[in-house]
Structures are given as C-alpha cells and as structure tokens.
Chain A
Amino acid sequence: MNRNVAIVGGGQTYHAARRHDVNQVEMVNEAIRAALQDAQMSIDEIDVILISNMEFFEGTHMTDCWMVDGCGAYGKPGVKITTGGTVGATTICAGAHHVASGLFDTVLCVAFEKQEEGDTGAILSGVAHPLWGRSLAGAAVGYFAMMGSSYMATWGAKEEHSAMVAVKARQNARKNPHAHLKLDIGIEDVLNSRMLAWPIRMLDMCPASNGACAVILSDEKTAKARCKKPVWIRAMETAHNEQFELDWRDVTTKRPIFSKACSSRIYKKLGVSKPSEYFDVFEIYEPATWAELVWYENLGLCEPGEGFKLIEKGITNIDGPIPVNPSGGVLSTNCIGASAMLRVWEAALQIRRDAGRHQVPKDVHRTLSTAYGGTNWTVMMALSKTLDD
C-alpha cells in the first residue's frame, strides 16, 4: 500500500432476529452514528462512503442509493461493491484502497443486513446455477454436513467436538452486548438440538440476524492527529474459488484450497512462519461449527487433523493461548452483509482493549480476520496495534 491506513473508529447495532422498530435506513444509521461518535468525527469530515450488503437479499435493487439518507452520502463520492458473504471485509479493503491511493483521507465503510425483511431461503437458493442444482439448492446446511461427516470419518473427531465449538461461540456471545444468540448452553444442549442434516444440528449453524456495522478508515497523518487508539491495516488478501468444484467439504482433498492459498499469501506478505504465535487473536467467519475446526487447520494454527484437539483442550477459548472469536463469531451473529466487517471491527476492538467483557486477557498486538462467502471465497485482513508490530 502506498500509504498506511488505520481504523480510527467503528460502531455496530445490537444484533437480533427482530428489529420491527426500524427500517433498513434507520438501522444502518444507528451503526454510522456509533462509528462517528467513536471516531469523534462529524459526517462532514468523511470524504467517501462505501455501502455494502448482500445484493438483493432484502429484495431491493440498488440499496446503496436507498441508504443515502442514513449514511450521510448526499453529495459525497462512493460506490457499492458486493462479493457475497465476504462483502463486509471487501468493503474495508476497498476503503483501504481509497485511503492508500492518496485521493482521499477518510473513508466510511458501511455493511448491513436486515434478514427478517427479505426471503433468505429463496434468495440463497438463487446462489445455485439456474440450470444446475437450483432445485436442490438451499443446501448450505447439506454442504457443512458433508464437511462434518468428512472431518469425523477422516480424523476421528466426534459430534461432541463440534458441540464444543457451538458452546464456546454462544458463551462468548453472552459477554458481548451486541451479539444475537447469547445462550447459556452446554454440550448436551447442542447434541439435543434439532437435527438438520447429519451431523449438523440447529445449534451447529449460524442464526439469521438483523444488524449493521460501520468502520472509519484514515491515512496515517489524520489517524495520528485525531485518534487515540488507531489500529493499523497491515495486509489484506482475497481468494475466490471456482464455481462448481467445492472441495472444502472434503478434508482429504489434495487440491489447492482458497483458505490455504489466501492464508499462505498473507503470511508471506507479513513474514509469518508461526501464525499461532504471530497473531494474538483470530476473528474468523464460521457459518457452521465444523468450519471453525477446518479453519484452525487451514490457517495453520495446528496440523491437519488436530483442529478438534484445540477446541477439546480449550486452546481457542477467550482466555486460551490462541483465542478464536471472543465476540461469539458468526455462529452467534450473522447479519450476512455485515458479518465479515464485524470480524475486522471486533479484532480492532481487541487491539484497542475496548472489547469490554469479551476482551481477551492476553496482550493483543496483532490480529487476523477471515471472511467467507460465495462458492468458498475468503478475504483476510491483518491488523496491528502499532506500525512496528
């Protein structure tokens, strides 16, 4: 990047299944006002506004234009970028590009989803090719079920291990006032929840949430002048995957995988050899429990086949040596368009030590966030506390 870019503020709504009290514009505005307040900025100081959500999830075309009032975008530059579930992170990348280009100093990135208003089932089934598998679509659950059965058959993990992930997420969420599913549950509760597609149960999956997140980025000069605790964007990487070959669900695959390709690129950029030591906190995009275990391995936090041992030993707990998703993650809050932005914002809060009750006890200098969407796509972002970290 030609200029250093910092996160100088951010905000989010509380996330919930029902937000009958606000329309989409009003909900987005809540996050924006929170972000401006956090950054101690007025809307007049924002140079560019980037607005994103899952395109057409709420059945509305050109949502960015509709959001203009609530975002303060009237008369300002901006564009709408969409990349599916990764879009929140893509939007922060786009914001960083805007700042690094030298054309703009301060950028407001906005991401949201009001899932209750759209027909999520119908729109999700539209992800499938219209002539290839749409009649069987909506099988995101089936996809992660196959991942789970492949994981168990290959590595000898048990359903209890995925349940441990489900419990960790919801117990962490109880410490996060913004999270959606704050459940005081144990392993038995997960195993007794409704079977959706073996071995995926209701509590193995993410919820459908309403919510928004906004993050403000600035150049180094503005950040140092205006912000007490700037968090620096150190590297970003995007990797998509081809349309029809979805090998992630098969843990034995020998083919190059988006997640490993992307992490090895970002590690190379940063000179990381041992990610579990280099990064202090991970905020990853896990739409289902089994995906979290596969992420551990794909990110190199452990050897292949060892992911379930990390959760078993509590290593990824909020107070463990490698905390993963202290916020409660996507398993606790999934306002899809905003989910990937929340991963980055929650990581920034950890660096600032502003995460409140879900702050990890250890020192946090560096974090890694991942996103997930499309047909196995990811965007990764590394943040640091200082430019020397």
Chain B
Amino acid sequence: MTARVAIVGWAQTKYAPRLPAVNYPELAYEVISQVLDDTGLSIERDISNSISCSHDIWDGQTISDISINDVIGGHLRNEEKMAMDGSTAVYYGAIGILSGEFDCTLLLAHTKMSQTNRNIVNNTAFDPIYTRMLGFDYTSAAALQANRYMYKYGISHEQVAKVVKKNLANAKLNPLAHQKGDFSISDILSSPLVASPLRELDIAPDTDGAVAMILASEEKAREITNDPVWVLGLGTCYDAYYLGDRDLAEFMALQKAAQRAYTMAGIKNPRREIDVVELSEDFSYQELLWTEGLGLCAPGDGGVLVDSGATQINGRIPVNPSGGLLSGVPANVAGLNRVAQASMQINGNAGEYQVGDVRIAVAHGHSGYCGQHHCVVVLGKE
C-alpha cells in the first residue's frame, strides 16, 4: 500500500455487566467526546465522515444509527453504519481514506447487551427456512463447533480451560475489564455447564460498553499525533452459511482474511513477525481455533500452543494480554476493542499488561455464528 492510514486516537468506556443509567447514545457520547478531547479534534473542522457499528436488533431500534447520528456528528454530514463486528469499521474506514474521499474518520461501536436476551437476538441469525425453528443461538452453535474441534484434533478440556485461566488472569491487569480473577483449571471445569462442552466461564459475559476511534490519512495523522499506529494490512472473508456446510473445526475464512491482511502488510512469517495478537474469542475454545487460523501454529496445534505458554503475556506470541472478550467486551464492540487494545500495545500504553516492545500487532473480529465472517487488521509502529 503506498498511501497509508493511521489510527490516531481511541477511547473506551469501562465495561460492566449492566449500565442502566445511560441509554446507548449517551454511552456512545462518552467515548466520542473523550477521543475528540484526547486528539484535540473537532467534528466540524476535522472529521470528514463517521462510521458506527451496531445491530438494529441489539439496539431495539430500526435503523439504529438514527439514535447515534447526533452524538457522532452526522447532522448534515456523512455517517454510515456497519451491521457487523466492530473490526469491520476499521476495515471500511481505512478503505474510505485510501479511496481519497475522506481524510479523517470517526469510528464507533456500542452495544448494551443487558437490554435484551442474547439467545433470542442470535436465534434470528439462523435461516428461517431450515434452522431457526430448532431454537439455535450462538452458544449452542459454538458448542457444536467446540465439540467438533476438540474431537478432530484431540484438544483436551484442560487445554481449553487454560485459555480461560490465562485471559481472566490477564484481565486483572486491565482496569476496564469486569470479569477477572485467578481461577484454577478445576474451578473452570466445574463452573456450571451451559451447552456441553461449554461452561459458564467459557463464554464471554453479557456486557455494556462502547469504543470510539479516529483514523486519519498519513498527512492528517502527522498533524494530529507523534505516535500514529499504522494500519498495515486488512482482510475480510465470508465463509459458508449453514452449520452443516463446513467442518466446523476448519477456518477457511479466517485463513483467507489473515492471508490477505498479511500479504498487504508484507508479513511472510506470521509466527515470527507478529509481536502480539488481540483476537475475538467469544468462547474459550475459539482462541485456540483462531490462533490456528491466524497461522500462529499448524491446524490442530492450538492446544499445544497454549500448553507451551507461548500465548501467555510474557510468552513468545502473547494472545489477548488485555483479557480478551472473556474479560467482558460486548458483542459488536468486540473487534473495535481488539483494535484499540492492539493499538495500545503498539504505543506502549497498555500499562500493566504491556507485553514489551511491539512492532507488529494483529487484531481480529468475527461476525455471525462459528466465525461466518472474519476481519483481520495488522497494525504497526512507525
């Protein structure tokens, strides 16, 4: 890529299981005003367009960016909404800047999971003709994926539990996380069963929160900050739709999305060149599966990788030092939070969970059930 796009600022709410005092535009305004204050930018003078990221059914409002329009500066201006995971806002925002149409883009993702029932919401993502009436939701679908994956590669319950143990311990270092603590493998394996093999601690908790971020062209970024985080690579990919269409232990779409992002970023050997990964594990086992899809280890070796300690905060390739989604990040906000966390690592601003000197960081988000659509973002230092 000859032209370059930078992340010049971001802000996050503190995440909580329930924030009943604010509605979602107010939640969004908290992070939007903070990121504008932090960067010293004004909507009127600096922001050329904005992209919000949420779903009507989560928000309980048709065309729900109607309620976001005012706080994001959409009045008489350009606003668009991604009905996907937050990572896609970074992808599309960067493309807008590379197109030459825009030079400074405000991104937002918000969700109040507490205001509805995730299983009823997610049931509507299943096709109405062959599957929805059976009552599936993302958790029961994920359980089928987990079981298939563990069976196919002989991944043990202990290996999966190690992801939970690691991420919830990492989360203790992250002041914004709400689910955290020191859990033993036996604590995790004895937490209440939800849908076998998934137990309560294997599942990202219901969370309310929002993230805002600002992207800028290289020229604009230089005016705004001395510490731009460069967007080096981007990739998205759709997978097949029906639960039975693919072997759920495989990850064609993630592999392709990652390959596209790596090629663009000039990454030839992801295992060596990537310093830290913030990926979207809505469920514990997904961290293992996605590390394989991202090429951090061979297919089926996700369990071996976690056993080796490589993905620990002080390991060879730390994964989710922030605590990941298991520490409490809302659906849809997930991917934008991953990009923000990865950016903090690049800038050395991750505080107690900084993994050391980071030159290349990878953030990942996915939409739909069992990873129907993936988005990979490669970030780098100057």
Q: Do chains A and B touch in the complex (CB under 8 A)?
A: yes
Q: Is A79 positioned at the interface, with any CB of B under 8 Å from its CB?
A: yes
Chain A neighbourhood of B2, CB < 8 A:
102
Q: Contacts A65-B373, A77-B237; is A103 near B95 (CB within 8 Å)?
A: yes
Q: Tell me whether A242 and B70 are in contact (CB under 8 A).
A: yes
Chain A neighbourhood of B83, CB < 8 A:
55, 62, 64, 80-82
**A117 and B329 alpha carbons, distance in the complex (Å):** 34
A232 to chain B, nearest CB (A): 15
A240 touches which of B57, B74, B88 (Cβ 8 Å): B74
| Chain B proximity mask over A72-101: 1 for CB below 8 Å, otherwise 0 | 011111111111100000100110111111
**A77 and B373 alpha carbons, distance in the complex (Å):** 9
B349 to chain A, nearest CB (A): 29
* Residue of B78, B256, B372 contacting most chain A CB atoms (<10 Å): B78
Chain A neighbourhood of B128, CB < 8 A:
59-60
Q: Is A356 positioned at the interface, with any CB of B under 8 Å from its CB?
A: no
Q: Contacts A2-B98, A60-B125; is A75 near B252 (CB within 8 Å)?
A: yes
Write the chain B residue with the least CB distance to A94: B92
A94 touches which of B67, B80, B367 (Cβ 8 Å): B80
Q: Contacts A61-B121, A65-B241, A69-B241; is A79 near B82 (CB within 8 Å)?
A: yes
**A79 and B74 alpha carbons, distance in the complex (Å):** 21
Q: Is A126 positioned at the interface, with any CB of B under 8 Å from its CB?
A: yes
* Residue of B75, B83, B122 contacting most chain A CB atoms (<10 Å): B83
**A83 and B83 alpha carbons, distance in the complex (Å):** 9
B294 to chain A, nearest CB (A): 16
Q: Is B195 positioned at the interface, with any CB of A under 8 Å from its CB?
A: no
Q: Contacts A60-B124, A79-B84; is A243 near B67 (CB within 8 Å)?
A: yes
| Chain B proximity mask over A341-378: 1 for CB below 8 Å, otherwise 0 | 00000000000000000000000000000000111000
Q: Contacts A76-B237, A77-B236, A100-B101; is A65 near B368 (CB within 8 Å)?
A: yes
B331 to chain A, nearest CB (A): 11
B187 to chain A, nearest CB (A): 34
| Chain A proximity mask over B48-59: 1 for CB below 8 Å, otherwise 0 | 010000011100
**A240 and B76 alpha carbons, distance in the complex (Å):** 5
Q: Is B175 positioned at the interface, with any CB of A under 8 Å from its CB?
A: no
Chain B neighbourhood of A1, CB < 8 A:
99-101
Chain B neighbourhood of A100, CB < 8 A:
98-101
Chain B neighbourhood of A198, CB < 8 A:
none
| Chain A proximity mask over B359-382: 1 for CB below 8 Å, otherwise 0 | 000000001100011010000000
Chain B neighbourhood of A79, CB < 8 A:
82, 84, 88, 91-92, 236, 375
Q: Is B202 positioned at the interface, with any CB of A under 8 Å from its CB?
A: no
Chain A neighbourhood of B253, CB < 8 A:
75
Q: Is B240 positioned at the interface, with any CB of A under 8 Å from its CB?
A: yes
Please give the number of chain B residues whose Cβ is less than 8 angstroms from any Cβ of chain A in the complex.
62
Q: Tell me whether A68 and B238 are in contact (CB under 8 A).
A: yes
* Residue of A55, A78, A80, A242 contacting most chain B CB atoms (<10 Å): A55
Q: Is B257 positioned at the interface, with any CB of A under 8 Å from its CB?
A: yes
Q: Tell me whether A83 and B75 are in contact (CB under 8 A).
A: no
Q: Tell me whether A374 and B65 are in contact (CB under 8 A).
A: yes
Q: Contacts A61-B121, A84-B63; is A68 near B241 (CB within 8 Å)?
A: yes
Write the chain B residue with the least CB distance to A122: B62
Q: Tell me whether B100 and A2 are in contact (CB under 8 A).
A: yes
Q: Tell me whether B62 and A241 are in contact (CB under 8 A).
A: no
Q: Tell me whether A56 and B56 are in contact (CB under 8 A).
A: yes
| Chain A proximity mask over B121-135: 1 for CB below 8 Å, otherwise 0 | 110110111000000
**A127 and B25 alpha carbons, distance in the complex (Å):** 15
Q: Contacts A129-B61, A240-B74; is A66 near B241 (CB within 8 Å)?
A: yes
B101 to chain A, nearest CB (A): 6
Q: Tell me whether B75 and A97 are in contact (CB under 8 A).
A: no
B175 to chain A, nearest CB (A): 32
Q: Is B239 positioned at the interface, with any CB of A under 8 Å from its CB?
A: yes
B75 touches which of A54, A69, A102, A241 (Cβ 8 Å): A241
- State which residues 158-179 of A face B: CB under 8 Å: none
Q: Is A123 positioned at the interface, with any CB of B under 8 Å from its CB?
A: yes
Q: Tell me whether B124 and A97 are in contact (CB under 8 A).
A: no
Write the chain A residue with the least CB distance to B79: A240
Q: Is A49 positioned at the interface, with any CB of B under 8 Å from its CB?
A: yes
Q: Tell me whether A65 and B372 are in contact (CB under 8 A).
A: yes
Q: Is A183 positioned at the interface, with any CB of B under 8 Å from its CB?
A: no
**A210 and B304 alpha carbons, distance in the complex (Å):** 51
Write the chain A residue with the least CB distance to B88: A79
A55 touches which of B56, B238, B264 (Cβ 8 Å): B56
Q: Contacts A62-B372, A79-B82, A375-B66; is A101 near B125 (CB within 8 Å)?
A: no
Interface residues of A (CB under 8 A from B): 1-3, 23, 49, 54-57, 59-62, 64-66, 68-69, 73-84, 90, 93-94, 96-103, 123-127, 129-130, 236-243, 256, 258, 261-262, 373-375
A-B contacts, 21 of them at CB < 8 A, read: A2-B99, A55-B55, A55-B56, A55-B63, A62-B83, A74-B239, A79-B82, A79-B84, A80-B83, A83-B79, A97-B99, A98-B99, A100-B98, A100-B101, A102-B2, A238-B79, A242-B70, A242-B74, A243-B67, A261-B76, A374-B66
Q: Which 9 A-B pairs have the closest CB atoms?
A: A100-B99, A101-B98, A2-B100, A126-B62, A84-B63, A238-B78, A97-B99, A240-B74, A61-B125
In the complex, besides A2-B98, A130-B61, A241-B76, 13 extra interface pairs with C-beta distance below 8 angstroms are: A56-B62, A75-B252, A75-B253, A94-B80, A94-B92, A94-B95, A126-B61, A236-B101, A238-B79, A240-B77, A240-B78, A241-B69, A261-B76
